[in-house]
Amino acid sequence: MTDSLEPLSDANADLAKESIALLHQYQQLQDRYTALLKLNQLTSDCADLSKLFTQVHRAIAAVMSADNFYIVLYDQTLSTLDLVYHVDEKDHMALGVYPLSKFAGSMTNYVIATGKALLATPEVIKSLEEANKITAVGTSGIDWLGVPLMHDGFVIGVMVVQRYSADTRYQESERDLLEFTAQHIVTAITRLQDRKRLQAAVDARTRELMQQIRDREKSELLQESLYRISELTNDPDLVIDTFYRQVHNIIGQLINAENFYIAKYNASNDELDFAYVQDQKGVNSHQFFKKRKLSNRFTELVIRSGETVLLSQQDMLALHEQGKTIKPEPEVESWLGVPLIDSGELVGAMVLQSYHSATRFTEQDAELLRFVSRHVASAMQRREVADYKRKAHELLEHQVKLRTAALEDEIKQRKIAEEKLQHAACHDILTGLPNRAVFIDLLNHAIARSKRRPSFKFAVLFLDLDRFKVVNDSLGHHAGDMLLKEIAIALMQVIRDTDTVARLGGDEFVILVEDLESDEVAHEIASRITELLSAPFYIDNQSIFIGTSIGVLFNNARYTSADNMLRDADTAMYHAKDKGKGCYEVFDASMHKKVQNALSLEADIRTAIAEQEFVPYFQPIISMTSGKVVGFEALARWHNEQRGFVLPSEFIPLAEETNLVMAIDLQILEKSCQQLKAWQQRFGYQHLYVSCNFYCNHFFSLSLPQDIQAIIDKTGVSPQQVRVEITERALLENSDVVLKNMHALKKMGVKILLDDFGTGYSSLSYLHRFPMDVLKIDRSFIESVHDRDNHQAIIKTIIDLASNLQMETVAEGIENLADAQLLEAMGCMYAQGFYYFKPLPSKEVAEILASNV
């Protein structure tokens, strides 16, 4: 009996050991599961990379030996390694960015080069060293285990654990665990890096907007101040001392003006008279502010130079040491003076002083005070004139009471006022020239006179300023009005006494040249005007080049009304503009013909739409990674039986002007979809798509989604194979309607491309608000990309921005291999251009598809 029990006891013991081993394995699996679950949660919840690496280390250390642990991030473009986390028993390295060469020959570098995990035992390390694949770097250990951090097939870093003792050895299971962990870390890293880049872009835009707001508030305050100064001059009951005090108060809202004075200059006797003084500390005695002849004080620097003077205490002392001024008061820390100039005449100076080191005037203060000073000087002169008129009026009233003869003066003044009213009704208020109504009347009289006297010859010159809108937009309407006045004066000096200059409105002038002895007289006047207006005009001390285009029309028996003559003169003027501006053109029958040709072309376009004459040409779009065709941009082409092949540059502008381009766009989209469906049935390619340009007005119509859906249903293509290209102009107008249409197209599955990105009013707000899928980089950046570094920076920024916003990028206008290689290196996804293919008819595209896309 004893013999039979002994084997049973041994079996129980073995069973117990096996159970303990199984429990140990179960506990290990449970620990790993817990660690992996924690890692998965970390990649979703963690918002800080440094905290992520610390918690990853803790999680790994919970399931395997990881006393020695580090993570490096690899930048392939810069060839650098960023040591973002490092814990080691023996080696100590500072966190930061190192050149890749510092890790040459290391196992870390080996993992980066191979893109594969490495479990390096002493035997493996010896073998790699003998093969010259690694060299000893750092303190040698027993086991070294490193796995690559992979993103989109590229190594972006390495995660490493190692041991210096042989108590516990790394196995394949630890390698698998570390590789699995690496996938989660890459997800977290890319997510946090994308968030950081996006946040940086948002912060930069926010700062830009805040600066714009501050600039706008400052501008509004300045405009309000100028308006208030103007209001002061129009208050007849405001005495001059109160006027100066309120001007001081207004300026004090723009600049620190605690110490302020206005000095008036009388050029006839070379004297300064201090009209207003507010000095907080009273450093200067009352003797200083008495009327005086010009001397060697600091105010005189402004008067004599007619320029702004900005001085520190050191500057003032230097001027004194040079013998140019008196010794300055020691309390004055900063001094700013600007001249008061009205209509080119120096009338005084306006001065600010500071006695505190905390207040020092800047060039910006000087510019602001200089700008305000122009209005103050004008207001002072008008105020003084108003005061003078008020006193004169008071004197006149007193004289009326004394003498009844003053009634005759009142009647006379009324007559003058009536004459002024009559003059105002017939003349332009701004320039004083005859207005349109007067000119029409004079022109009709000239036409009637030529009917009575056939020998009577005259001409009409129609002028339009070439760059007037630029002046208004850049310098403001005030400068524009001053320029119009100067031009009116100049035109009056050019014409003869018998001729008439009138302003029709805006920047349009007309001249009636009568009693012509020959046509050459009108040609000579037009030439003189062209030459005169090509020279610069000076407005507010700034030179302005304006130029003019002139249409010349001679009288003819066929003209019976002034309106018809003005119409043809206007037509001749537009021909001058089309010819290049800054010249004149004489109206002739060919101009009629050009108008008729435009009408004929419009009629042919309408017929071509009805007859389905517009056909798509297809320019392939290439994947820069695979080199294969992924889709096509469809471009409108037109062949007409009478006209032959009509270039897009000839019919597209007129089609857009007449809005016929919308019908052409839909016709091209439908034919492109039909052709794409035919290629799919013939060659079996399902990944190809077609992209069509749509005129901006399409997006202003709520029927756009239904129009496109009808074409998709009719042709049988998938919505995902249809793309619509939109320009930035469409995003500026009717944005709510555009946004609604874009959301409807996205819901259908149609992708939307933003064409010519970067050439218009590009804004990050568009990319966040409007649901775009693809950014098309305009060819203007590609054409000079090797000559202009800023174009490379712009392209790289667009590509990175699109990547961060999960958009695709297409580069247009690739003309050579160098362009293609550069765009591919920058990370651009797709490209099109003559380097790959020019726009092709469908037959030639079929030959390409037949040779395997």
CATH number at residue 763: 3.20.20.450
Q: For position 1, what pLDDT does the model report?
A: 45
> For all residues of the chain together, what is the average pLDDT?
85
Q: How confident is the model at residue 283 (pLDDT cuts 50, 70, 90)?
A: very low
The amino acid at residue 535 is: A
Nearest-angstrom CA–CA distance, 29 and 32 = 5
Identify whether residues 583 and 626 lie together within a single domain. Answer: no
pLDDT, residue 831, reads 95
Q: How many whole angstroms separate alpha carbon 262 and alpha carbon 349?
A: 6
Reduced to 3 states, what is the DSSP secondary structure of residue 306? coil
Burial class (CB in 10 A: 0-12, 13-18, 19+), 159: buried
Q: What is the pLDDT of residues 658-696, one digit of tens each?
A: 899 999 999 999 999 999 999 999 998 888 999 999 998
Mean per-residue pLDDT, 251-258: 83
Instruction: Indicate if 245 and 338 belong to the same structural domain.
Output: yes
Radius of gyration of the chain, Cα coordinates, nearest whole angstrom: 41
Residues 498 and 573 in one domain: yes
3-state secondary structure 498-525: CCEEEEEECCEEEEEECCCCCHHHHHHH
Please give the average per-residue pLDDT across 110-132, as a whole number: 90
Q: Is 750 in the same domain as 629?
A: yes
Residues 6+ apart with CB under 8 A from 171: none
Residue 2, pLDDT score? 47
pLDDT recorded at residue 704: 94
Query: Which run of H or of E encompasses 674?
Result: helix 661-683
Residues 6+ apart with CB under 8 A from 776: 725, 753, 754, 755, 756, 757, 809, 810, 811, 812
Mean pLDDT of 425-451: 91
- Give the pair of three-digit tokens for residue 777: 């980089």
Q: At what angle do helices 298-305 and 313-321 cross, to 10 degrees?
A: 80
For position 62, what pLDDT does the model report? 82
Q: Is the residue at 3 inside a domain? A: no
pLDDT value at residue 377: 82
Residue 581 corresponds to which tokens in the numbers above? 């501006």
- pLDDT at residue 286 greater than cutoff 80: no
Determine the pLDDT at residue 441: 94
Q: Helix or strand or coil: residue 68? A: strand
Q: Is 528 helix (H, G, I), strand (E, B) or coil?
A: helix
Q: Is residue 546 part of a domain?
A: yes
**What pLDDT, on the 0 to 100 scale, is given for residue 549?**
93
Judged by average pLDDT, the poorest of 161-170, 297-306, 432-441, 752-761 is: 752-761
Task: Work out the average pLDDT over 731-738.
Answer: 78
Residue 577 pLDDT > 70, yes or no? yes
**Contact (Cβ atoms closer than 8 angstroms) between residue 553 and residue 574:** no
In a domain, 177, yes or no: yes
d(CA 302, CA 536) in angstroms, rounded, equals: 28
Residues 699 and 834 in one domain: yes
Instruction: Give residue 27's pLDDT.
Output: 52
pLDDT for 69 beyond 90: yes
Given a contact cutoff of 8 angstroms between Cβ atoms, the answer to whether 594 and 574 are in contact is no
CB–CB of 284/329 below 8 Å? Answer: yes
Which is nearest to 386 in space by CA: 527, 3, 196, 394? 394
Whole-number pLDDT of residue 307? 92
Task: Render pLDDT for 7-20 as a digit per residue (tens, 0 to 9).
Answer: 556 666 666 666 66
Strand runs labelled E in 285-329? 292-293, 309-312
Q: For 190-239, how does the pLDDT look when each residue is reduced to its tens digit (9 = 90+)? A: 887 777 777 777 777 767 766 666 556 566 666 776 677 767 766 766 77
271: tokens are 């004297």
Enumerate the β-bridge partners of residue 538.
Answer: 543
201 Cβ contact list (under 8 Å, min separation 6): 764, 801, 804
Contact 161, 64 (CB under 8 A): yes
Collapsing DSSP to helix, strand or coil, 205 comes out as helix
Backbone angles phi, psi at 637, to 5 degrees: -130, 150
Q: If you average pLDDT over residues 790-813, what whole number do you get?
A: 88
Domain boundary among 143, 165, 196: 196
- Other residues' Cβ atoms within 10 Å of the Cβ of residue 480: 23
Cα 824 to Cα 838: distance, rounded to the nearest angstrom = 20
Residues 363 and 431 reside in one and the same domain: no
Whole-number Å distance between alpha carbons of 667 and 165: 76
- 16 in any annotated domain: no
Average pLDDT over residues 368-396: 77
> Which of the pair, 762 or 65, is modelled with greater confidence?
65
Please check whether residues 701 and 846 belong to one and the same domain: yes
Sign, Cα dihedral of 515, 517, 523, 526:
negative
Is residue 596 one of the residues assigned to a domain?
no
Whether the per-residue pLDDT at 491 is higher than 90: the answer is yes
Give the integer Cα–Cα distance in Å for 63 and 43: 18
Residue 49 DSSP SS3: helix
Residue-wise pLDDT tens digits, 635-645: 999 999 898 99
Q: What is the mean pLDDT of residues 85-104?
A: 90
What is the C-alpha to C-alpha distance for residues 338 and 291, in angstroms, rounded to an integer?
A: 19
Per the model's pLDDT, the better-predicted residue between 55 and 691 turns out to be 691
Question: What does the pLDDT look like over 775-790, one tens digit per residue?
Answer: 998 888 888 777 767 7
Burial of 317 (0-12, 13-18, 19+ CB in 10 A): middle
Distance between CA atoms of 748 and 718, rounded to whole angstroms? 10
Among 196-200, 242-246, 304-308, 663-667, the least confident range? 196-200
Written as six digits, the tokens of 800 are 């990175």
Under 8 Å between Cβ of 748 and 708: yes
In a domain, 602, yes or no: no
Closest CA to 566 of 577, 552, 582: 552
Closest listed residue to residue 496, CA positions, set 458, 538, 441: 458
pLDDT of 499 > 80? The answer is yes
Facing residues of 544 across strands? 537
Q: By three-state DSSP, how is residue 194 classified?
A: helix
CATH classification at residue 55: 3.30.450.40
Residues pairing with 72 in the sheet = 83, 158
Residue 117, classed as helix, strand or coil, is: coil
Length of the chain: 853
- 617 contacts: CB under 8 Å, gap ≥ 6: 634, 635, 636, 637, 839, 840, 841
Q: How far is it, in rounded angstroms, from Cα 357 to Cα 366? A: 18
Whole-number percent of the chain with pLDDT over 90:
41
- 630 with 580, same domain? no
Nearest to 694 by CA among 749, 644, 750: 750
CATH of the domain at 440: 3.30.70.270
Which residue matches tokens 């100049």? 490
584: three-class secondary structure by DSSP = strand
807 occurs within a structural domain? yes
**434 with 528, same domain?**
yes
Q: Which residue has the higher pLDDT, 183 or 234?
A: 183
Does residue 293 contact residue 266 with C-beta atoms inside 8 Å?
no
Ranking 81-85, 102-106, 251-255 by mean pLDDT, the lowest is 251-255
Bridge pairing between strands 80-87 and 68-75: antiparallel
Is it the case that residue 459 has pLDDT exceeding 90? Answer: yes
Q: Quick one: pLDDT at residue 550? A: 95
Can you tell me the distance from the alpha carbon of 629 to that of 635, in angstroms, rounded to the nearest whole number?
17
Distance of CA 214 to the CA centre of its chain: 18
Residues 718 and 844 in one domain: yes
Per-residue pLDDT reduced to its tens digit, 330-354: 889 999 999 999 888 899 999 999 9
The Cα 147–Cα 137 span in angstroms is 18
What's phi and psi for 275, nearest 5 deg?
A: -75, -30
Please, are residues 105 and 135 in contact by the beta-carbon 8 Å criterion? yes
How many domains is the chain built from? 4
Same-domain pairing of 60 and 151 = yes
Angle at 267 between CA 364 and CA 351, to 5 degrees: 25
* C-alpha span between 424 and 228 (Å, rounded): 28
Start-end of H helices in 453-561? 468-475, 477-494, 519-534
Provide the 8-state DSSP code for 327.
P
Do 386 and 454 belong together in one domain?
no
Residue 845 lies in a domain: yes
Nearest partner of 636 among 617, 653, 619, 621, judged by Cα: 617
| Higher pLDDT pick, 727 / 43 | 727
In terms of residue numbers, what domain contains 833? 620-634+658-850
Mean pLDDT of 121-137: 85
With a CB cutoff of 8 Å and minimum separation 6, the contacts of 244 are 262, 275, 276
- HSE toward the beta carbon, residue 122, CA cutoff 13 A: 9
User: Which of 356-360, 381-385, 425-429, 519-523 comes out lowest in average pLDDT?
Assistant: 381-385
Decide if 776 contacts 812 (C-beta within 8 A): yes
**In the chain, % of residues over pLDDT 70:** 87
Phi, psi angle pair for 74, to nearest 5° = -105, 125
Whether residue 823 is predicted with pLDDT greater than 50 in this model: the reply is yes
